[in-house]
Amino acid sequence: MLISQLIKQKSYEHIVYVLRRHPIVFLPVCLLFVVLYAVPFVVYGMVDMFVFDISADPRWFAVGVLFGAMYVLSISILFFAQFIAYYLDIWIVTNDRIIDIEQYNIFSRTIAELDLFRIQDVTSEVHGFIPSVLHYGDVEIKTASQNIDIVFHTVRHPNTIREDLIRLSHEDRKYHYAQPGTQS
């Protein structure tokens, strides 16, 4: 997906960051689905070992394959939905604004925009051993408005992003609050 398809850039605007969640936060979801994919094989082995030989009766074997296929297909659809929600959560930082694209599930998306000169406070948070070692955490952006606060969840190098956002907001504030006739 091209970023230019998601946002309409202004003529003077350029992209500074395209941020996504750190890949390590999707690893537990992947491990869970690996375990869930193994369940039909374990069930088949347990039934075959302790109850009766499923492969001896073609009808029971067909029923087992049908239910196993339905289970694997269901798990695959759930995994795809989780991957879509992870992959399509994007934060785009330009020299003029922040675009927050939150994908909640396959058919639910919220897009919010925030002008950089409206930023009041930027906070970065890193909690835990693994986030500290792998340098990822949250960046919270607050405005004077009660309804717009943007949080970059589990992004790489949150302190660097915080510093760059503060610098970009100061530059944008100078541009927007400059006296008429003094801009070049």
Compute the average pLDDT of residues 6-35: 90
The pTM assigned to this predicted structure is 0.79
Asked whether the predicted pLDDT for residue 44 surpasses 90, the reply is no
Q: Find the radius of gyration of the CA atoms of the chain.
A: 24
- DSSP bridge partners of 116: none
Phi, psi of 147 (to 5 degrees): -100, -5
Average pLDDT over residues 67-93: 93
